[in-house]
Structure 1
């Protein structure tokens, strides 16, 4: 039986080697979601625009919320909230799909020549497309109400790359577990919902009592959500030490997930 390399080099080499297949599959994935609808790809723009309007109304008009309990405007709360949601939705879209990546494509498992390890890449790039569209909506709203964005927004990829690595590692691990334990898909859906409320999306981390703030920072999404907010809304430079530690940790998570996937993929065909 063929052995599959679990080295970190192979993790990135597969991305480069299969780049054209990943590109074509990602395009098909994005277009397939809206195939048959009257608006087509316009839905990818309409959905975040609609959600931004809904969150603005519910939290700033109905609940009269202000970020951190200060005197900020309703628009400020909506944009700060939506910035956090963009990040979390990228994470949740990938992780919720991960357990079904292999189970939902049994024909690929039976094709020895198909590189199964690229399926999480395809899911991540498709989710990244939706993130970019949501970011475009966010930027449009920001420019309408506040003008030119902060220059720090150009550093956004530095926060997103570690997040993408984290998501890839989880996706590889969950895609494998989803083959052998079908309950994983149900469990992950529940856990991501819980994680959303345990992340500083609807409230700043500083809103919690100091005794509980360190618990919030055990959540790997906390650092990236706050970092993205700092870069695109507050115009604050990232903590380079924290970013470096976060990047190294996420590379290890990605490698761990990839290694697990490569070691267990020999049993996929037997189960499916």
Structure 2
């Protein structure tokens, strides 16, 4: 059946055919997170705003932290730090939700003919939506504290697009694996906590000794964090060679994740 094809064309074709369902599902996912709260969707703005304020106060006034090679502005460390936190938060939300995304929608597997492949994608888009709001908060804070952001901000979507592909592939893989191995969710939770400190979020990659720096680049989000920080705050051009490799490898990761998902989905009903 076409429904179970796993070639690259079908990967994008399935998402396009079900685009209306994806939009409705993302909207339900985003609004459902704040259902019943008095402020509703406004929390999606308040959360990153509060986070930025806390990090500005803690790192600038308590720890007296300064980013290497930067000025002594008290707000600067938080503005440099926050783009890395945005990337890590998107990554963390996606991989923590992925192992359970099919399990919590078991009724779609057993009772309804439903395009299951869109469920991991919906969670990725939902995470990207909250990341976009955090990015907006960062821009407003930058304008208020520093001034007009550098022109290289326009490269931000170019870096985020392959990151989206990578998250799609990883989410498809973990969503399928989580059906068969329920312990995956627990392992991912622990791995995420460790990975936060093995990512150049609170420090630049260049601060590590050169002989150990390659280990940091084994982390799948290191390149994204470094490139996003460079274009948003430091006004640097993205590394074209690294970005090209990242785009190709991310597209491959998306297809392999989709391939794995489509090949293993036949057993979902038996397990669930």
Length-normalised TM-score, structure 1: 0.97
Over residues 111-151 of structure 1, what are the superposed CA-to-partner deviations in whole Å (9 max), with x where a residue is unaligned?
Answer: 45200000111101111110111011100100011111111
The equivalent residue for 1:253 is 253
SS of residue matched to 2:117: helix
The equivalent residue for 2:269 is 269
The range that moved more, 28-37 or 2-11, is: 2-11
Counting only pairs closer than 5 Å after superposition, residues 14-163 of structure 1 correspond to structure 2 as: 14-68=14-68, 71-163=71-163
Whole-Å separation in 2 of the counterparts to 1:82 and 1:111: 43
Structure 1 unaligned regions, length at least 5: none
Whole-Å separation in 2 of the counterparts to 1:12 and 1:70: 43
The range that moved more, 96-105 or 149-158, is: 149-158
Length-normalised TM-score, structure 2: 0.97
The equivalent residue for 2:232 is 232
Whole-Å separation in 2 of the counterparts to 1:139 and 1:2: 44
Deviation, 1:69, is 6.8
Whole-Å separation in 2 of the counterparts to 1:163 and 1:50: 25
Over residues 54-82 of structure 1, what are the superposed CA-to-partner deviations in whole Å (9 max), with x where a residue is unaligned?
Answer: 11111111111111275432211001111
SS of residue matched to 1:265: helix
Deviation, 1:206, is 1.0
RMSD: 1.3
The equivalent residue for 2:193 is 193
Whole-Å separation in 2 of the counterparts to 1:131 and 1:219: 20
Whole-Å separation in 1 of the counterparts to 2:261 and 2:46: 36
Deviation, 1:154, is 1.2
Over residues 60-115 of structure 1, what are the superposed CA-to-partner deviations in whole Å (9 max), with x where a residue is unaligned?
Answer: 11111111275432211001111100011011111100000100100111245200
Whole-Å separation in 2 of the counterparts to 1:111 and 1:72: 60
The equivalent residue for 2:8 is 8
SS of residue matched to 1:41: helix
The equivalent residue for 2:171 is 171
Over residues 36-55 of structure 1, what are the superposed CA-to-partner deviations in whole Å (9 max), with x where a residue is unaligned?
Answer: 00000110000000011111
Q: How many corresponding residue pairs?
A: 272
Structure 2 unaligned regions, length at least 5: none
Whole-Å separation in 2 of the counterparts to 1:85 and 1:185: 22
